[in-house]
Structure 1
Amino acid sequence: MPSILRGKRGEGYVDVVVLVLTAMLCIALAVRVFPVFVAKHQLDSFAAELVREAEISGRVGPETSQRTVELQAQTGLYPTISWSRNGQIQINEQVSVTLQTTVNIGLFGNFGSFPIELTAKATGKSEVFWK
């Protein structure tokens, strides 16, 4: 009987089970965290495209509002948008936009769930001369 208890024939199975369980937990964590990085990249692109629209049109107004609606439909993000200035922007004057949104990381359902505040900023200069 003591020789049976000292045998190590099944030891490999326990190691494999622990390794598989650990790998699955790491993959589950990555699947829940990776969308936050995607959302941050989309938010940065959103801000850059909004500023570019303001640069081309030379103002913060209907053009930027329309572009906001288009970008919201494309990305699925609905950030809070704040501009450094409104209305017409003279050539070479600077304009910047700040976007803020909250993304929720829910680890394993509602357990370990917490919000993360994402912020994106972009700056540009007007390309329009207003008389």
Structure 2
Amino acid sequence: MPFIRCKRGEGYVDVVVLVLAAMLCVALAVKVFPVFVAKHQLDTYATELAREAEISGRVGSETSQRAAELQAQTGLHPTVSWNRTGQIQIDEEVTVTLQTTVNIGLFGSFGSFPIELTARATGKSEVYVRLVSGQSA
């Protein structure tokens, strides 16, 4: 069995393996990073919707319009659910929950799987709702 006495090319092989490993790590980061961006956008989306409900004192056309604006800005189309609808009396809490699915495609369609993202925001109404006699809050 012959032994290799000259190891001058050994450094080149090490560099190639190191560069290949680094490029695989970069490719993985490029595919996973958008999920973190989408989660941040979803959290901001929920906060903005809760703030709209606080300012308007109701869950209705104002919050639906704001949701449409946020969809256009972020490109996200989450499922929006509120713990209550209609008018919200001052200092009463309202909670919005958003859910969406983001797909991580590591290598095209191979190694691709969906991730469920959820965001929740709570706020208190800042509007005094005057009740007409016979109405209940």
TM range (shorter): over 0.9
Tell me by how many angstroms 1:58 deviates: 0.1
Alignment of 1:7-22 (within 5 A): 7-22=6-21
CA distance, structure 2, for counterparts of residue 113 and residue 6 of structure 1: 46
After superposition, residues 1-131 of structure 1 pair within 5 angstroms as 2=2, 5-131=4-130
Three-state SS of the structure 2 residue aligned to 1:122 is strand
SS in 1 for 2:107: coil
Unaligned runs of 5+ in 1: none
Shift of 1:6: 2.2
**Secondary structure, counterpart of 1:90 in structure 2:** coil
Aligned length: 129
Q: Return the alpha-carbon distance in structure 2 between the equivalents of residues 130 and 44 of structure 1.
A: 28
Q: For 1:121 and 1:32, how far apart are their aligned partners in 2?
A: 25
Deviation at residue 112 of structure 1 after TM alignment: 0.6
The CA RMSD measured in Å over matched residues stands at 0.8
Structure 1: which 4+ aligned runs deviate by more than 4 Å?
none
Unaligned runs of 5+ in 2: 131-137
Q: What TM-score results when the alignment is normalised by the length of structure 2?
A: 0.92
Q: Identify the structure with the greater helix proportion.
A: 1
2-structure distance, mates of 1:12, 1:42: 45
Distance 2:101 2:24 in 1: 25
The alpha-carbon deviation at position 19 of structure 1 amounts to 0.3
C-alpha distance in 1 between matches for 2:51 and 2:41: 15
User: In the alignment, residue 27 of structure 2 is paired with which amino acid?
Assistant: A
Cα offset for 1:16? 0.4
In the superposition, the TM-score normalised over structure 1's length comes to 0.97
Give the distance between the partners of 2:49 and 2:118, measured in 1 at CA: 14
CA drift at 1:108? 1.3
By how many angstroms is 1:73 displaced?
A: 0.1
> 2-side partners of 1:92 and 1:110: how far apart?
49
Q: Distance in 2 between matches of 1:47 and 1:12?
A: 53
The share of aligned pairs that are identical, in percent, is 81
